[in-house]
Structure 1
């Protein structure tokens, strides 16, 4: 029940942030990056970092499982 409430509150807060964000004026830096096409470089770098972190965590998990099975 506690996780359900936490999930509901998280979704509610994110919806509130999305609506609040749409009312804020556009950020000049983001507009400049979008217009010059450099936003895709930023997206690619962030995506690469996230994939790298997940691969690192996956490899650590495999090593830990191997050590647990070895004992």
Structure 2
């Protein structure tokens, strides 16, 4: 048999979770309500802040890696 009992259970669990999440987020068109309350701008601001933080962290890590690479290269 292709799928063992555990794999079947995991597959069914994943399908159930995806279906449940689809039902939660598929609640209709409430974007006008969110826009009227000003919450849409808060969501956009949070997403932009997270993106900027991730980019800043990546730049910081790139600088640290570059200095480590230069340090290792100078030791050789």
Greater Cα radius of gyration, structure 1 or 2: 2
In structure 1, list runs of 5 or more residues that go unmatched: 1-26
**Can you list the C-alpha shifts for 1:11-68, whole angstroms capped at 9, x where unaligned?**
xxxxxxxxxxxxxxxx622111111111110011001100010001000100000001
**Match for residue 67 of structure 1?**
68
Q: Say what the alpha-carbon RMSD is for the aligned residues.
A: 1.1
Q: 1:42 and 1:34 mapped to 2: Cα distance?
A: 10
Q: Give the TM-score, by structure 1 length.
A: 0.58
Q: Give the TM-score, by structure 2 length.
A: 0.55
**Superposed, which structure 2 residues align to 1:32-71 within 5 Å?**
32-71=33-72
Q: How many residues align?
A: 45
In structure 2, list runs of 5 or more residues that go unmatched: 1-27
Higher percent of residues as helix: 1
Q: 1:49 and 1:30 mapped to 2: Cα distance?
A: 22
Instruction: List, as ranges, runs of 4+ consecutive aligned residues in structure 1 with deviation greater than 6 Å.
Output: none
